[in-house]
Amino acid sequence: MNKIIGIVGYPGAGKTFISNLMKTHFKFGVFYADRVGHTVLGECKDEIVEVFGSKAVDSLGSIDRTFLADVVFNDSEKLEKLNSIVHPGIFEYARGFAKSGGKLIIDAALIFETRINELCDEVWFIDAPFLVRLARVKERGWDGKDLLSREMCFLSEEELRKRSDRVLVNIDSTEVVLGRIRGFLE
């Protein structure tokens, strides 16, 4: 069976958790766009430095993701510029992954903005209430302001729900969530 499911959702909703469940329990291959994005940042280092200056590179010569996050998540024009640099590369990696065939998950927070949804048979919006997401991202060292500044960069919840084929609420036990996934796959 060949099937590509896109996974989208706000930070802390549990996209990676759901992707990992599908990998472990349903034998899907998984493409993690965030991880690939880190690779693409490095591949685009010269262009990023040209746009954001030498502070965009740390003392080891790598892209300083903390610096970039502080800049782009507080300036929509700079975020748009960074996205225009890295999104094409992420899309190309995703396209290569999609060609591998089989049961595949593409875990991508900005699935519609990157056009990765065009590679998918269906897209699932992973949802959880704001306070649940906040508790989860605190483990990453984020606070409410960090989460809100990142969420402002996403499509609205209404738009994500409208564009997605399914909505998976991720607030229950693993067993309950697995049951929902199983139902979606049948």
Using CA atoms, how far residue 29 sits from 74, 101, 175, 179, in Å, is 34, 9, 21, 20
pLDDT in tens, 6-30: 999 999 999 999 999 999 999 999 9
- Give the separation between CA 98 and CA 104, rounded to whole angstroms: 7
**What pLDDT does 1 receive?**
67
| 3-class secondary structure, 135 | helix
- Give the separation between CA 33 and CA 27, rounded to whole angstroms: 19
Q: Average model confidence (pLDDT) for the chain?
A: 94
pLDDT in tens, 90-146: 999 999 999 998 999 999 999 999 999 999 999 999 999 999 999 999 999 998 898
Confidence of residue 81 (pLDDT cuts 50, 70, 90): very high
DSSP assignment, residue 156?
A: P
Decide: residue 166, CB within 10 A, 0-12 exposed, 13-18 middle, 19+ buried: middle
As a whole number, mean pLDDT of residues 72-97 equals 93
The token pair that represents 97 in the structure block: 């992954």
DSSP assignment, residue 171?
A: -
As a whole number, mean pLDDT of residues 38-54 equals 95
Task: Report which of 35, 67, 30 is spatially closest to residue 51, judged by C-alpha positions.
Answer: 67
**What pLDDT does 76 receive?**
87
Compute CA 173 distance to the chain's CA centroid, rounded to the nearest angstrom.
22
- Say which CATH class 3-185 falls into: alpha beta
Using CA atoms, how far residue 53 sits from 57, 79, 171, in Å, is 8, 15, 41
**What pLDDT does 152 receive?**
84
Q: Which residues lie across from 108 on neighbouring strands?
A: none
